[in-house]
Amino acid sequence: MFDSSLLLEDFWSILDAVPVTLAMAVTIFICATLLGGLLAFIEHKRIPLLRQAVLAYKIAFKGVPMVVVIFLAYYGLPAALQFFATQFGVAVNAHSMPNWVIIIVALSACVAAFQAEVVKGALNAFDKGQADAAYAFGYSGWQLFRRVLFPQIIVSAIPDLANAFMVIMKALSLAFAIEVVDIFAQAQLTAALNFYYLEAFGVAVVFYMVIAWVVTKVADKIESALRVRT
């Protein structure tokens, strides 16, 4: 039976995991977007060998389930870092790496493959005639990027970037597989204490919905502001 008297207690318990979850999500979002942007620019410039490497990267990380990547990173990343540290004579115990670092690395690598497609689509939508006009006015490559290209591609990419943030929030629920506690994991732990799972997961759903609403509103406001400026 549903016990509404437990909702407030579950709320405060799960609330403890919200700041940690958001911090990890923001970190993953930034890392994935930067890496995805770099991959998109490499592919957009059609640099022969690097472009093939980018295509292979996207195929690999879009095709392999995120939970598999998480476990590969969990068992392989510390060993790989330890190996390279040994080769360079650096004294470090990579096996003591916190699990939250592993989840950030694993999900950033996965999401970057999708972010690359978002940025690539925005780049392809850019009118090359504007670039020619900018060069005719004496713009340098950096000035073209900063004043013309970037303001336009970011406006085009904002809706998909906002969606990507929510994908990251959902993907973080997989972090409990390597004992990293997020909103979903905290709901499980809270419910395990009293066996009232419906109440705990109901509260978790509310948190996710509020975060989704805030992200959507913020993205809409940023997009509107940037459209006015461009």
Give the pTM.
0.87
- DSSP character for 89? T
pLDDT digits (tens, 9 = 90+) for 87-131: 877 777 777 889 999 999 999 999 999 999 988 887 777 667 766
**SS3 state at 97:** coil
pLDDT of residue 132: 67
Inter-residue contact 54 to 39 (CB < 8 Å): yes
In whole angstroms, give the CA distance from residue 150 to residue 179: 39
Place of tokens 């690539």: 120
For the chain, helix (H) and strand (E) counts, in that order, are: 10, 0
pLDDT reading at 3 higher than 90 = no
Average model confidence (pLDDT) across the chain: 86
pLDDT tier, 228 (very low <50, low <70, confident <90, very high otherwise): low
